[in-house]
Amino acid sequence: MEISAVARVSGVPASALRYYESKGLIRAMARDGGRRHFAPEVLDQLALIALGQAAGFSLDEIRAMLTPGGQPDIDRRLLAAKADELDRTAKRLQAMSEGLRHAAVCPAPSHAECPSFQRLLKAAAAGMMAPPPQALARRKTR
């Protein structure tokens, strides 16, 4: 498949396909007159990349989960660790959502007088509402 066909079918822009190739995530089979040609399996590889990104993996982490031929070789412990991280993030976001919902309907004359809102502020100030440090580090490698 030519790069334009891969882009059209997958919805991934050609520029991203070239970037993924430069990062070693996908591989062109051949070049004909400067045009990249990919095996049909590249669509499965792109789906795996999209799934990994949706789960919060960096492109470097995704590349480590692929064999040189582009087949998945996924470390199950890494998946379990990511699932644990997502669970922690979900709990943190749920607590934040509940705090904001309370603040939106709080009967206190001012948020400064609301004990629940004050707890939310203290948690934010203590860094409990911030993304975990490993998530920030991964954002820099994307």
Are 54 and 15 members of one domain? yes
pTM, rounded to two decimals:
0.70
Are 7 and 59 members of one domain? yes
Instruction: Give the total number of structural domains in the chain.
Output: 2
Largest CA distance in the chain: 71
Cα 115 from Cα 75, distance rounded (Å): 45
Are 92 and 52 members of one domain? no
Which range marks the domain in which residue 114 is found? 88-130
Asked if residue 101 is part of any domain, the answer here is yes
Give me the chain's average pLDDT, please.
Answer: 85
Place 130 in a pLDDT band, splitting at 50, 70 and 90: low
Range with the lowest mean pLDDT among 9-23, 42-56, 92-106?
92-106
Asked if residue 140 is part of any domain, the answer here is no
pLDDT tens, position by position, 63-94: 998 888 888 888 899 999 999 999 999 998 88
SS3 assignment, position 83: helix
Asked if residue 46 is part of any domain, the answer here is yes
Range with the lowest mean pLDDT among 7-21, 41-55, 98-112?
98-112
11, two tokens:
């919805």
Are 7 and 53 members of one domain? yes
User: 């960096």: which residue's tokens?
Assistant: 58
